[in-house]
Amino acid sequence: MFDPITSALIAASPPLEGLDLDALPKRLTEAFADIVAARIRLRGGGGEDASEMLQETLLEVRRLAAAHEAFVTLLPERENRAAAAFVAAAAHQVCLVGSIVGQDQIPHSYLDGASVAPEICATLLFMVAEAHADAAECAKRISFSPDDGTAIEKALLTAIKSLASGRLSSIRQMEMPELATDRATPEQAIDALYLELFKGVKNLAARLLARVDLARAAGGIEPASAFFIRVKELSVAQMDDVLGTGDQIFNLFPGPLHLANLLIAVERDLIESALTRTPAPDGVDEGGWWQVISRMARKRPFLWRNHRDAIASSYLEKEHHRLSAFLPAAANRR
């Protein structure tokens, strides 16, 4: 299920008591196989054994996903955050395979004040891990009913799905949904927080398509992180000593808070993966290079890790010099 490079990434995830990191890729593969086998048995009228095995496996993998996702959202500066993010995302995917047992169709994604659908979390975690192909594939699971959810929730889900799929231009072209004022105060507050996150994703898409960052005074845009951090601050409020015990009590909006933390982690490293930020090789006209790069970024805006490693090793410089030496000789032979 995992190639050697991915297995090495998984093995570099944060250590947990009782967890064999070297055996973790194999265990995730076995869990996936167990879930698929249980699904087949249940569909064929299998007994309680299949259902019990499925529940035990899902519980184990969900704990794994939750623990590693916490490392990413609470400790975004960890050096092994990419490994933790990939393990969490892969574990979420394994659970998603088993969560649709006995259902006629895949359930719609959700955003609310308390939680965020696992397919949304998995998509963003794959992006943190720079597993862009996996993120795009996982994003296909993000769906919503035209009749359910607010306009802001639908816009945010669409934007996240487009971000993972590399459709940055479509995000920039999305209209800003309006905040409904006829809802209860808590629901309005949740919608307002998700609207801020949508604005942040729009600005992140714009930044990923830009060659350089400009200060706002020079015509630049507000950084996406400003929106995400603002949501974090607004999602947590300390309450007065309502119990009279002196203990600190907080009022939380866990759903927006968690999604803001994930988006902060996404933005942190995604800019480095942006194709538009690839410097022109020495001797190449900057204007011509930008025309080529910007055109390519409309369809494939992100560099994979091996691409970035090649660029860091001066591959573009070497390739440019090789072609520069070859082209004049080829022209003389015509």
Whether 205 maps to a domain, the answer reads yes
> In this structure, are 94 and 118 located in the same domain?
no
State pLDDT tens for residues 82-129.
999 999 999 999 888 766 544 555 678 999 899 999 999 999 999 999
> In this structure, are 80 and 14 located in the same domain?
yes
Closest CA to 98 of 65, 134, 67, 71: 65
> In this structure, are 81 and 125 located in the same domain?
no
> In this structure, are 254 and 151 located in the same domain?
yes
State pLDDT tens for residues 293-311.
999 998 899 998 888 888 8
Could you tell me the pTM of the whole model? 0.85
Number of domains present in the structure of the chain: 2
Give Cα 160 distance to the centre of its chain: 8
Instruction: Based on DSSP, count helices (H) and strands (E) in the chain, helices before strands.
Output: 14, 2
List alpha helices for 167-219, DSSP H.
168-172, 185-208
Mean pLDDT computed over 241-261: 78
Mean pLDDT computed over 43-65: 77
Whether 311 maps to a domain, the answer reads no
Mean pLDDT computed over 35-39: 77
- How far apart, in whole angstroms, are the C-alpha atoms of residue 235 and residue 183? 19
* pLDDT of 76: 75
Residue 51, domain extent: 1-100
> In this structure, are 113 and 248 located in the same domain?
yes
* pLDDT of 319: 66
> In this structure, are 114 and 62 located in the same domain?
no
> In this structure, are 80 and 174 located in the same domain?
no
> In this structure, are 149 and 197 located in the same domain?
yes
Contacts of 134 (CB under 8 A, 6+ apart): 89, 126
Whether 149 maps to a domain, the answer reads yes
Whether 236 maps to a domain, the answer reads yes
Whether 323 maps to a domain, the answer reads no
> In this structure, are 17 and 65 located in the same domain?
yes
* pLDDT of 304: 86
> In this structure, are 136 and 284 located in the same domain?
yes
Domain end position, chosen among 58, 77, 100: 100
